[in-house]
Amino acid sequence: MTSVSDKSVVKKSGGLGETISVIVQALLLALVIRTVLFQPFNIPSGSMRPTLLEGDYLFVSKFSYGFSKFSIPFAPDLFSGRIWGSEPQRGDVAVFRKPNDTSLDFIKRVVGLPGDRVQMRGGVLYINDVAVPRVKVGQINNPDITEVNRPVDVYRETLPNGVTYDTLDLTPNGLGDDTREFVVPAGNYFMMGDNRDNSADSRFDVGYVPFENFIGRANIIFFSIAGKASPLELWRWPSELRFDRLFHSVNGTSFTPKSQ
């Protein structure tokens, strides 16, 4: 019969080797989470206003669209295409690599699917020669949301699949308000910013976005701070933290205009 000793054996903890091991394990775990599950991103520009604001920090679901060579940070060009891929849906807010400069991450909304015909006419979005329903829901006069200190019209659009979201119309007859008709190639998507008059997107030099370039689907805002403040500037939190945006879903959320 084997007996268990009454004596407790105390293992000395610490040491350089153990410390290095813990650090390596933590880094590997973080890499797996970042590569396979969720990757944090921050919003540096106003191209997706009013849905996303500068100073928003959000998690992007990496598994929503499967994985490509762009899914692994700093990885070599291991393969082409996607594995375990689920196609983006119209209306998704997604992060992708800019086709003509894959060192840049962009975030826009999917409005055109492969084979779609997309055009802007007088500020109205047309998909396959049908106008996307667009209803004015109010005005806002808040530079933190509109980048101009004057009333700005807010329009709510409803895509053919029922997804609704809000857009800003900063100026009539904007540069992207009237475009040629774009025919989205197979395996590509047409992306647009919700801030229609201040967005570099598929209407311009971004062009069509290959499925391979998608990083993931924007999921939830986990932190948001105004005034170009850093999250590390804790003393600015009381005045700059946007409490009403914390833990809000990105997709399927419409903006409610309010004056400030």
Active site (catalytic) residues: 47, 108
Query: 189 and 208 in contact (C-beta within 8 Å)?
Result: yes
Phi, psi of 256 (to 5 degrees): -100, 115
Pairwise CA distance, residues 109 & 95, whole Å? 9
| Pairing verdict, β 214-224 and 56-61 | antiparallel
Of 211, 213, 218, 210, the closest CA to residue 61 belongs to: 218
What torsion do the CA atoms of 50, 53, 58, 61 make, to the nearest 10 degrees?
40
Of 259, 93, 119, 105, the closest CA to residue 177 belongs to: 119
User: Three-state SS for 135?
Assistant: strand
Region at 6 (left for phi over 0; alpha for psi -120 to 50; beta for the rest): alpha
Pairwise CA distance, residues 70 & 102, whole Å? 9
Max CA separation in the chain (angstroms): 90
- Determine the Cα angle at 198 with ends 195 and 200, to 5°: 105
